[in-house]
A and B are shown apart, each in its own frame.
Chain A
Amino acid sequence: MNRETLCQCYRLMLLIRSAEEKIGDWVERGEARCPCHLYIGQEAIAVGVGTAMRAGDTLWGNHRSHGHYLAREASLTGLFAEILGKATGCAHGRGGSMHLIAKDQGILGTVPIVAATIPLAVGAALASSLRRDGCVSVAFFGDGATEEGHFHESLNLAAVYKLPVIFVCENNQYASHLHWSERRPAANLHEVGSLYRIPGICLDGNDVEAVHEASLRAMERARAGAGPSFLECRTYRWRGHVGPRWDIDVGLKRRDELHDWLARCPIRRAKERLRKLGVTEAELSAIEQSVQDSIAQAEAEARAAPWPDEGELLHHVYCAAAPLDLPWFMPSIREAA
């Protein structure tokens, strides 16, 4: 990875980390009340993949998607305001932390039903395949999602139609409180696609360069019409399943593991690598300062934003924008609408 791209990755990872530490503070103080599933420790995956995406590609997230959203450089104020329940939030205060949207960045909605967006990503890829628009869709999901039936259905669909979709499994070891060893017979998730002839790779999910390079290869393959790829990115969720606590109550085992994984911080690793590439301390400080400035500004804007109007409660059950999108051959109906 070149110096410029790594600087960008470093900035985005730091932005995610800092934003989530801020969100964690709000949760502790009771200012943010929606369930917040923090991504701290996993930043290299969202950023490694997100920076390999192009305009027009779509990203499909889950309940733990602050990182995915920020990695695509969607509005930080929109995220903060959404989590605080403000009208200027990315979902206008209807979604909270678990339902984020940034259409211009290819994020058409993240939702928390486990594995639910995996078939949606396959559908976006099917749309691209039918339109031949050269776009790729990326599904982010955790190791727990691979235990759902529709994950397997989706792998098969994507493989049989050779769809341009990348399955990114963020294996953070735990499904809520339950370690993978209690849920699976072996640590072999990257092999899951073999039955469907989907190439799988096991990556160090805390190495942003490795994730980025693998993503580029998978996307090139997808755009060439060669079909889906599966990336197992091994990582660790530092905080609890939900909320900012360190989650050491789930067992002594986790306390020992956590210590080891804190030493493998993806951001620190990227920073060391940047130093080796000759980036100066002054340049690194400038990046860090710009992140802190962005956080402060977005927090101020989100706090100052209005609450949603109660009168909007019944709006948007159905989408009003769509009926105007009538085909050319029905002018009379278009006029009636």
Chain B
Amino acid sequence: MRELSYAAAIREAHQQLLSEDDRVFVIGQGLWSPWYVGNTMTDLEKEFGRNRIIDCPVSENATTGAAVGAALSGMRPIVVHPRMDFMTLAVDPIVNQAANWSYLFAGQIGVPLVVRPIINRGGEQGAQHSQALQAFFMHVPGVKVVMPATPEDAKGLLVAAVYDGNPVLYIDDRWLYGITGPVPRHMYMTPLGVAAVRRRGNDITVVASSYMVQVALHAADRLKEQGIEAEVIDLRTIKPWDKDTVCNSVIKTGRLLVADGTWATGGVAAEIVAAVVSRVFRHLKAAPVRVCLPDTPAPTSRTLEQAYYPNANTIATAASWLVRSDPSIHDHRPTAELPGRIVFD
């Protein structure tokens, strides 16, 4: 099959959506810029016009609110926030308005809105240019949250988000933009709420989303060298997430590690661990472990930044420990790892 980069797959999804459906338009900061949103929107304004690809004033709240209003009026808007941090200025239209609308009015009207915040971190950008706030939005009833990990899903989930008919947060990560993979040429949907098993294994279930899926797959290679077969599950949608696929895997392996690219406290991993423990407790051979960001803002200096983000080694260390540990003894924790990224409490 033809291969595309993750960024090119996002662009192709936009291109096909805009070609096929007059209701679709895109609004956000930096859409006409050659660098603001990577190469995910390159030259689309030339093909579809600046009235449908709207590079907008620095008004996160009003542009997102306008997209909600346009969605209620029958359009299929996509709002882009080039950094998820900036989207905190648009919480009212997402959380108070779009998320509540269907329930408030008993399903008489929906909000077919896609909000696309981009996680854009690393490079010593620091606390306000690095955040991954998916757990915030996962908390709110009425919103769906998707986080593609592969080029194929980057395209298919965007199309599915536009046609879901509800507010969907489509969160992409610039650390994934360069990875390549097979992407069908035609327009297709990756169904929301369905996870993908990216690698089969019997010793431990590793659940991840977005960039952490790629990290987990690297970790699985290292674990194989140690004789440990990890099953890697890509959630794809973190709300509503695919409990059946995750729990069926845990029933098989008896061990769960959740790797999530945000903080541990109140995070996505916490939700998954809680649900798995509630559902399949008797199948667990050991207490689940989370690999997350330490509960601190993102630092800048390279040494601190390197210590901040979990990597394949972090996941491999935690998984190896989890597989080899005696479930009755939880004192023997791996000491080689830096503090914060492997969460035991």
Query: Which A positions have Cβ atoms within 8 angstroms of B?
Result: 58, 60, 91-95, 99, 101, 103, 108-109, 111, 113, 116-131, 137, 149-150, 153-154, 156-157, 160-161, 315-323, 325-327, 329-330, 333
CB nearest neighbor in B for A119: B65
Contact B164 A124 (CB under 8 A): no
B66 touches A91 (CB 8 A): no
How far apart are the CA atoms of A14 and B69 in the complex, in Å? 31
- How far does the Cβ of A102 sit from chain B's closest Cβ, in whole Å? 10
> What 3 A-B pairs have minimum CB-CB distances, sorted nearest first?
A322-B165, A123-B69, A119-B65
Give complex CA distance A121, B97 in Å: 13
**Chain B contacts for A320, CB-based, 8 A:** 107
Contact call B21/A101, Cβ cutoff below 8 A: no
Q: Please measure, in the bound complex, the distance between the C-alpha atom of A329 and the C-alpha atom of B103, giving whole angstroms.
A: 30
User: Quick check: A116 and B165 within 8 Å, CB to CB?
Assistant: no
Q: In the complex the two chains form, is A119's CB within 8 Å of B25's CB?
A: no
* Of the residues B25, B96, B107, B111, contact of A111 by C-beta under 8 Å: B96
Known: A326-B163, A327-B20. A120 touches B97 (CB 8 A): yes
A91's nearest neighbour on chain B, judged by CB, is B105
* C-alpha spacing A124/B54, complex, angstroms: 15
Contact residues in B for A99 (Cβ distance below 8 Å): 104-105
Instruction: Report the separation of the CA atoms of residues A320 and B187 in the bound assembly, to the nearest whole angstrom.
Output: 23
**Residue from the list A93, A101, A116, A118 in contact with B108, Cβ < 8 A:** A101
Known: A116-B96, A327-B21, A330-B189. A111 touches B65 (CB 8 A): no
User: Shortest CB–CB separation between residue A133 and chain B, in angstroms?
Assistant: 9
Chain B contacts with A in 18-47, Cβ cutoff 8 A: 20-22, 25
Contact B103 A316 (CB under 8 A): yes
Does B15 count as interface, using CB distance less than 8 angstroms?
no
Tell me the residues in window 70-102 of chain B with beta carbons closer than 8 Å to chain A beta carbons. Answer: 70-75, 77, 92-93, 96-97, 100-102
A319 and B166 form a contact (CB under 8 A): yes
Q: Is B303 an interface residue (CB 8 A)?
A: no
User: Considering only CB atoms, which chain B residue lies closest to A149 in the complex?
Assistant: B61
Q: Smallest CB–CB gap between B220 and chain A, Å?
A: 32
B287 part of interface (Cβ distance < 8 Å): no
**Option from B59, B96, B109 in Cβ contact (under 8 Å) with A319:** B109
- When the two chains form their complex, are residues A123 and B107 in contact, meaning their CB atoms are under 8 A apart? no
- Whether A113 contacts B165 by the Cβ 8 Å rule is no
Contact A323 B59 (CB under 8 A): no
Partner of A127, one of B73, B103, B108: B73
CB of B117 within 8 Å of the partner chain = no
Binding site for A on B (CB under 8 A): 20-22, 25, 51-52, 54, 56-57, 59, 61-75, 77, 92-93, 96-97, 100-112, 141-142, 144, 163-166, 187, 189
* In contact, A60 and B69 (Cβ under 8 angstroms): yes
C-alpha spacing A102/B189, complex, angstroms:
33
Are A119 and B110 in contact, with the CB atoms below 8 A? no
Q: What are the residues of chain B within 8 A of A109 when measuring CB–CB? A: 72, 101, 104-105, 109
Determine whether the beta carbon of A123 is less than 8 Å from that of B66. Answer: yes
Given A119-B65, A150-B61, A154-B65, are A94 and B104 neighbors across the interface (CB < 8 Å)?
A: yes
Closest chain A CB from B13 CB (angstroms): 13
Give bound CA distance, A101 to B101, whole Å. Answer: 10
Question: Are the CB atoms of A319 and B61 closer together than 8 Å?
Answer: no
Q: Which residue of B lies closest to A150 (CB)?
A: B61
Q: CA A109 – CA B106 in complex, angstroms? A: 11
Question: Is there contact, CB below 8 Å, between A130 and B25?
Answer: yes
Sample of 28 A–B contacts (CB below 8 Å): A58-B73, A94-B106, A109-B101, A109-B105, A111-B100, A116-B96, A119-B62, A119-B69, A120-B66, A120-B97, A123-B67, A123-B77, A130-B52, A131-B22, A153-B62, A154-B66, A156-B59, A157-B59, A160-B57, A318-B110, A318-B142, A319-B107, A319-B111, A320-B107, A321-B165, A323-B165, A326-B163, A330-B189
B162 nearest CB neighbor, chain A only: A327
Given A118-B62, A120-B93, A127-B74, 11 additional A-B pairs, CB 8 A: A113-B96, A119-B63, A119-B64, A121-B69, A122-B62, A127-B75, A150-B92, A318-B166, A319-B109, A322-B112, A330-B163
Q: How far is it, in angstroms, between the C-alpha of A95 and the C-alpha of B66 when the chains are bound?
A: 22
Known: A121-B69, A127-B73. A157 touches B103 (CB 8 A): no
CB distance from A46 to the nearest CB of B (A): 20
If A113-B97, A321-B165 touch, whether A103 touches B108 (CB-CB below 8 Å) is: yes
Q: Which residues of B contact A122 (CB under 8 A)?
A: 62, 65-66, 69
Which residues of A have CB within 8 Å of B96?
111, 113, 116
B130 to chain A, nearest CB (A): 24
**B52, B71, B73, B166: which has the most chain A beta carbons within 10 Å?**
B73
Report A-chain residues with C-beta under 8 Å of the C-beta of B108.
Answer: 91-92, 101, 103
- Bound-complex Cα distance A322 to B168 (A): 13
Closest approach, in angstroms, between the C-beta of B146 and any C-beta of chain A?
14
A108 (CB) vs chain B CBs: closest residue: B72
A110 to chain B, nearest CB (A): 10
Q: Return chain A residues, CB-CB under 8 Å to B110.
A: 318-319, 321-322
B57 touches A153 (CB 8 A): yes
Question: How many angstroms between the C-alpha atoms of A161 and B59 in the bound complex?
Answer: 14
> Given the complex, which residues of A lie within 8 Å of B104, measured CB to CB?
91, 94-95, 99, 109, 111
Q: Is the CB of B103 within 8 A of A94?
A: yes
Q: Which residues of B contact A93 (CB under 8 A)?
A: 106
Question: Which listed residue, A58, A150, A154, A316, touches B102 by the CB 8 Å rule?
Answer: A316
State the CA gap A161–B297 with chains docked (Å): 38
B163 proximity list for chain A (CB < 8 A):
323, 325-327, 330, 333
Which residues does chain B contribute within 8 Å of A125, judged by CB atoms?
69
With A99-B104, A325-B165 known as contacts, the answer to whether A120 contacts B59 (CB < 8 A) is no
Instruction: Give the CA-CA distance A58 to B75 in the complex, in Å.
Output: 14
- The interface residues of chain B lying within 8 Å CB-to-CB of A108 are 72-73, 109
Give the complex CA separation of A318 and B92 in angstroms.
18
**Chain A min CB distance to B214 (Å):** 28
Q: How far is the CB of A318 from chain B (nearest CB, A)?
A: 5
Q: Which residue on B lies nearest to A325, using beta carbons?
A: B165
CA distance A105 to B107 in the complex (A): 17
Report whether B57 and A123 are in contact in the complex, using a CB–CB cutoff of 8 Å: no
A116:B187 contact, CB within 8 angstroms: no
Say yes or no: A113-B92 contact (C-beta < 8 A), given A157-B59, A321-B165.
yes
- Closest chain A CB from B98 CB (angstroms): 10
